[in-house]
């Protein structure tokens, strides 16, 4: 089994945009310079684009605000609340200018003042090269009382001046997340655009388009378009390689798997497919190395189980197949003498109503010494494939029934 790099397509999916507003010490007003920062410009542009998109719905805005850990704790708590309010108001102005009606509802804004940001202070200190950094981090771990922490840090006068310049300004902030939900195109539109305008579709929509057809040439067209539009995504060449493999062009498949492996080294899906190529070329040992590296995916498990079964390791094969419902999984279970599980696997597999499935059930019947199971399943098997009469007649699995009249009636 070669493995496709799957899409993550959903009919609706969240789309959010973030920005940060920074404040001066002990202030909560939003400065015009902050509204001109790149992240706010991006938020404005995104809001403008989404407000004109009929497939997008604005769902709400989170505003999480903090104060830097200096000064009186109660004042900082109020300051964080004020910053949450001013951040929400600034965002509301952007939304209303773009006629986002939902922003007029108070419930649209979720404002959270978090007080002093000691965790942010710790993270910023860990990432810095400030003198006495290790000492300050020890102070944070030694004292749980925030007032005591601040006093101990202030005692390092020279270091505290650097902290005021380099660490604290970034902690005085409101973190803004405008949230929304995008609805995908209909299946009909996705099919249409995948042929005519693939660049109109999102990455997941385009990959999803390939799942809506069983025609390998059509799948190939979609995956080639995807690989061209998204050259850094391993799924493009991987999926092109899978189609080449299914078409019997092993060398072209290998070339694409190599591209995918270069984009995403040690990717389990790609590793499985590298193993598929090696197996097709008779390099079973190398194939097993790739399957093992691929891990516990259904395709890799199936492929490992097949090789283990051929080597006579039926116990390992059944473990590798896991919950896979295929003829070979049932065969491995049969050879491992787990007949009840094998019967359930066959009945849940694509082989359930095929000659091969009925024939294997007849074999299980013989091993369980159930003549009725043997005869009824052989009848169904030969009804679908008359050539199985000769096979059953000479099959050692049925040696105990060779002289049985009912068995003879089926195979002659």
In a domain, 87, yes or no: yes
In a domain, 3, yes or no: no
Q: What is the pLDDT of residue 141?
A: 85
The answer to whether residues 154 and 244 belong to one domain is no
CA distance 308 to 315: 9
Q: What is the pLDDT of residues 93-112, one digit of tens each?
A: 999 999 999 999 999 999 99
The residue to which tokens 């490992």 are assigned = 304
- State the CATH number of the domain containing residue 327: 1.25.40.10
Q: Are 299 and 3 in contact (CB under 8 A)?
A: yes
The answer to whether residues 152 and 30 belong to one domain is yes
Stretch 298-308: mean pLDDT, rounded? 95
The answer to whether residues 354 and 245 belong to one domain is yes
Report residue 142: phi and psi, to 5°. Answer: -80, -35
The answer to whether residues 120 and 251 belong to one domain is no
The answer to whether residues 304 and 175 belong to one domain is no
Q: What is the pLDDT of residues 265-289, one digit of tens each?
A: 999 999 999 999 999 999 999 999 9
Range(s) of the domain holding residue 386: 231-411
The answer to whether residues 142 and 247 belong to one domain is no
Stretch 296-324: mean pLDDT, rounded? 94
In a domain, 237, yes or no: yes
Contacts of 380 (CB under 8 A, 6+ apart): 355, 358
In a domain, 5, yes or no: no
Q: What is the pLDDT of residue 407?
A: 96
Q: Are 294 and 271 in contact (CB under 8 A)?
A: yes
In a domain, 119, yes or no: yes
The answer to whether residues 157 and 251 belong to one domain is no
Stretch 143-151: mean pLDDT, rounded? 84
The answer on pLDDT for 211 being more than 90 is: yes
Q: What is the pLDDT of residue 74?
A: 86
Q: Is the dihedral of CA 265, 270, 272, 274 positive or negative?
A: negative
Q: What is the pLDDT of residues 339-351, one digit of tens each?
A: 999 999 999 999 9
320 falls in which pLDDT band (50, 70, 90)?
very high
What share of residues in the chain are helix, strand, coil (percent, to 5)? 65, 10, 25
Q: What is the pLDDT of residue 98?
A: 96
Q: Other CB atoms closer than 10 Å to residue 62's CB: what's the count?
A: 19
The answer on pLDDT for 166 being more than 80 is: yes
296 falls in which pLDDT band (50, 70, 90)?
confident
% residues pLDDT > 70 (the chain): 100
Stretch 382-391: mean pLDDT, rounded? 96
Q: What is the pLDDT of residue 318?
A: 97
The answer to whether residues 379 and 252 belong to one domain is yes
Stretch 33-55: mean pLDDT, rounded? 96
Q: What is the pLDDT of residue 337?
A: 97
The answer to whether residues 253 and 168 belong to one domain is no
The answer on pLDDT for 143 being more than 90 is: no
What is the spatial order of strands in the sheet that 109-116 belongs to?
12-22, 173-183, 56-67, 109-116
Q: What is the pLDDT of residues 219-257, one digit of tens each?
A: 999 999 999 999 999 999 999 999 999 999 999 999 999
Single out the residue in 126, 150, 183 at which a domain terminates: 183
In a domain, 207, yes or no: no
- State the CATH number of the domain containing residue 114: 3.30.1330.60
- Tally of domains in the chain: 2
In a domain, 399, yes or no: yes
How confident is the prediction for the chain on average, in pLDDT? 95
The answer on pLDDT for 157 being more than 80 is: no
The answer to whether residues 172 and 237 belong to one domain is no
The answer on pLDDT for 79 being more than 90 is: yes
The answer to whether residues 404 and 259 belong to one domain is yes
Stretch 178-202: mean pLDDT, rounded? 95
Q: What is the pLDDT of residue 155?
A: 81
CA distance 198 to 161: 56
Q: How many CA atoms lie within 13 A of 249 on its CB side?
A: 13
CA distance 412 to 103: 80
160 falls in which pLDDT band (50, 70, 90)?
confident
Q: Is the whole model's pTM more than 0.75, yes or no?
A: no
Q: Are 362 and 373 in contact (CB under 8 A)?
A: yes
The answer to whether residues 25 and 161 belong to one domain is yes
Rg of the chain over all Cα atoms, to the nearest angstrom:
33
Contacts of 357 (CB under 8 A, 6+ apart): 327, 330, 346, 349, 351
In a domain, 99, yes or no: yes
């Amino acid at each position: 089994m070669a493995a496709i790099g799957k899409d993550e397509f959903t009919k609706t999916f969240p789309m959010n945009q973030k920005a940060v507003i920074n404040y001066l010490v002990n202030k909560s007003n939003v400065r015009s310079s902050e509204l001109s920062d790149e992240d706010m410009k991006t938020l404005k542009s995104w809001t403008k684009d989404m407000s004109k998109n009929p497939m997008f719905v604005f769902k709400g805005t989170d505003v999480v605000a903090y104060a830097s850990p200096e000064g009186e704790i109660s004042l900082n708590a109020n300051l964080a609340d004020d910053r949450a309010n001013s951040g929400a108001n600034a965002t509301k102005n952007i939304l209303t200018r773009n006629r986002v009606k939902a922003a007029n509802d108070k419930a649209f804004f979720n404002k959270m003042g978090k007080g002093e940001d000691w965790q942010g202070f710790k993270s910023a200190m860990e990432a810095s090269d400030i003198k006495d950094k290790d000492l300050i981090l020890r102070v944070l771990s030694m004292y749980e009382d925030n007032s005591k922490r601040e006093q101990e840090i202030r005692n390092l006068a020279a270091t505290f001046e650097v902290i005021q310049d380099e660490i604290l300004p970034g902690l005085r902030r409101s973190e803004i997340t405008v949230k929304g939900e995008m609805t995908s195109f209909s299946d009909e539109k996705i099919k249409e655009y995948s042929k005519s305008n693939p660049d109109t579709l999102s990455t997941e929509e385009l990959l999803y388009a390939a799942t809506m057809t069983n025609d390998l040439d059509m799948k190939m067209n979609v995956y080639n378009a995807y690989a061209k539009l998204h050259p850094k995504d391993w799924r493009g060449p991987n999926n092109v390689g899978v189609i080449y493999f299914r078409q019997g062009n092993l060398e072209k498949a290998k070339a694409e798997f190599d591209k995918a492996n270069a984009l995403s080294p040690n990717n389990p899906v790609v590793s499985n497919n590298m193993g598929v190529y090696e197996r097709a070329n008779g390099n079973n040992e190398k194939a097993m190395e790739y399957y093992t590296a691929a891990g516990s995916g259904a395709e890799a498990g199936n492929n490992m189980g097949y090789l283990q079964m051929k080597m006579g390791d039926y116990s390992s094969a059944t473990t590798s197949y896991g919950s896979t419902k295929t003829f070979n999984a049932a065969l491995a279970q049969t050879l491992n003498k787990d007949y009840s599980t094998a019967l359930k696997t066959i009945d849940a597999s694509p082989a359930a109503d095929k000659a091969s499935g009925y024939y294997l059930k007849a074999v299980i019947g013989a091993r369980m010494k159930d003549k009725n199971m043997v005869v009824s399943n052989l009848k169904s098997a030969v009804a679908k494939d008359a050539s199985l009469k000769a096979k059953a007649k000479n099959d050692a699995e049925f040696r105990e029934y060779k002289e049985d009249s009912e068995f003879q009636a089926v195979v002659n």
